[in-house]
Structure 1
Amino acid sequence: MVFRGLCVGLGGFFSFAAVVLCVFANIGQLSNNVVTRNIRYVSVDTRGLGDALSRAGQSNTNIFAQDQSSPVGQGNGIKDDYQWGLYNYCAGEVNGDSRSCSQRNFGFEFLPADAVLSDTPQGDRQTLQNFLPESTFRDSGYLGRFSKAAMYLIFIGSCLALIAWVAGLLSHRFAFLGAAFIALLSALALGVGAALLTAIYVKTKASIDNANFGITIHYGNALWITWAAVLAVALSIVPYIISCCTGRSDDY
């Protein structure tokens, strides 16, 4: 009885932890408050781009934003830093609240080159586009396709983690079996989604992250939060299975 109670408690603890972690991963960049603006999957630092353009003999006088809080995507100038969440991105100061965000939408895509170019004034856009390397950083088709798939998988995995936790609260052996199965599906969805994002971020970073182009990519805390959620929900599976095998078919 004590062992069964311990397993029930562990299953509930790990699945609840996964839900909390998923909530944090999902709210990154949704607003400009101090919590969400500091949660990001990946960031693109463009502060070295001016020097790189100068070394290449390109003028960079008017391509950077004078106001870091000006709307994104309207040719108001390149921002210092671009930070992605699951549903939108924000750009502006690296640390601080002088920034603005894109519109939020479901199935959002990680398109770093498009974000930077859309902020570049129209007259300088072609120059910058020619300067950026033909690499993964500019491969909008590849990045968009896989980042969108990852976003859907992480959202689905987050919902499944919530369902698994709720099912575990029902204190019924068949509910525990259902919770274990749903937790497995959640771990798979979250794991594949996190793996896709990790892969495209690594490739993008490797393709642009050097002094020649002045753009630096940093992995964000939301990526590690998602991997932690994968681990948490996976750890809930065995306790739920043991609870099912040792429990009764009626409520405790």
Structure 2
Amino acid sequence: MTGYGQGLEAALGDPIGGLYAKNASAPLQAKEGIRDIYKFGLYSYCGYLNGSEGVCSNVSAANRFQPFTVITADMLSNYTGLTTALITEGTFIDSTYLGNFTNAAYYLILIGTISAALAFITGFLKHTLLFLLSTVFAVIGALALLIGATIWTVIIKKAESINNFVVGSATQPVPLGITVSTGDALFLVWASWACLLVSIMPYMIRYSGFCAMFEPP
């Protein structure tokens, strides 16, 4: 968001003032000004000035990824209207679409996480049924994490279309200044899926080997 002021100035042809927050601890969605950086997670989102100073929203389960709603709620009313009139198409402004899909992805990741924990616990206990359950939990967890991570990846890629949005004259186009990128958390989800996927075969082998021990000669 650091370049949005310049982009808005190029679009309007007038100097921009009061767009950004002056106080890093100012509450979010209170029309106190936008932040330089916004980071969205599964349980909350945060807005930062100067890269590190900022404040986060209240923690809640299944936090929805709705960047356009969040950003415009931080702007003064006049800038909210200008931004809404300026950006009229693209996935970035479709808060309902982004919110619904990321909400579903949250529950899939939650199911995957719980299943991974259950697979880990049951995999340590020496019982035929529990070995089977650990395999089942690992399969369910890997599938849930795969779908959840895929949804988030697709959503972010679609939201990144705003990165190519330009304003100004046709002869001197200027980037809008809003940039969407993937954070570290999504890479961790993909890594978790890979680890759980790799663990499925050892769980299955352990179950098969344990059963073979009790087969009659």
Whether TM exceeds 0.5 here: the answer is yes
Contact 1:79 1:93 in 2 (8 A): yes
* 1:74 correspondence with 2:30: yes
* 1:132 correspondence with 2:87: yes
Q: 1:87 aligns with which of 43, 56, 59?
A: 43
C-alpha distance in 2 between matches for 1:55 and 1:77 = 19
Deviation (angstroms), 1:104: 1.6
Contact 1:209 1:215 in 2 (8 A): no
Residue of structure 1 equivalent to 2:200: 237
Contact 1:157 1:188 in 2 (8 A): yes
- The 3-state SS of whatever aligns with 2:175 is coil
Residue of structure 2 equivalent to 1:112: 67
**Identical aligned residues as a percent:** 33
Letter in 1 for 2:38: Y
Give every structure 1 segment of 4 or more consecutive aligned residues whose post-TM-superposition deviation is greater than 4 Å. Answer: none
Residue of structure 2 equivalent to 1:42: none
Q: 1:185 aligns with which of 140, 144, 155?
A: 140
Cα RMSD, aligned residues only: 1.7
Q: 1:219 aligns with which of 179, 182, 185?
A: 182
Contact 1:209 1:217 in 2 (8 A): no
- The 3-state SS of whatever aligns with 1:218 is coil
Figure out how many residues of one structure are paired with residues of the other and give that number: 204
Q: Deviations over 1:212-245 (max 9, x none)?
A: 3111111111101000100111111110111011
Deviation (angstroms), 1:167: 0.6
Contact 2:19 2:79 in 1 (8 A): yes
- The 3-state SS of whatever aligns with 1:206 is helix
Query: After the TM superposition, which of the residue ranges 202-211 and 48-57 deviates more from structure 2?
Result: 202-211
Contact 2:162 2:178 in 1 (8 A): no
Contact 1:156 1:189 in 2 (8 A): yes
Unaligned runs of 5+ in 2: 166-173
C-alpha distance in 2 between matches for 1:133 and 1:68 = 29
Q: Deviations over 1:129-180 (max 9, x none)?
A: 2122421000011101101000111111111110110010112232111101
C-alpha distance in 1 between matches for 2:156 and 2:164 = 11
TM-score, normalising length from structure 2? 0.89
C-alpha distance in 2 between matches for 1:248 and 1:135 = 55
Unaligned runs of 5+ in 1: 1-45
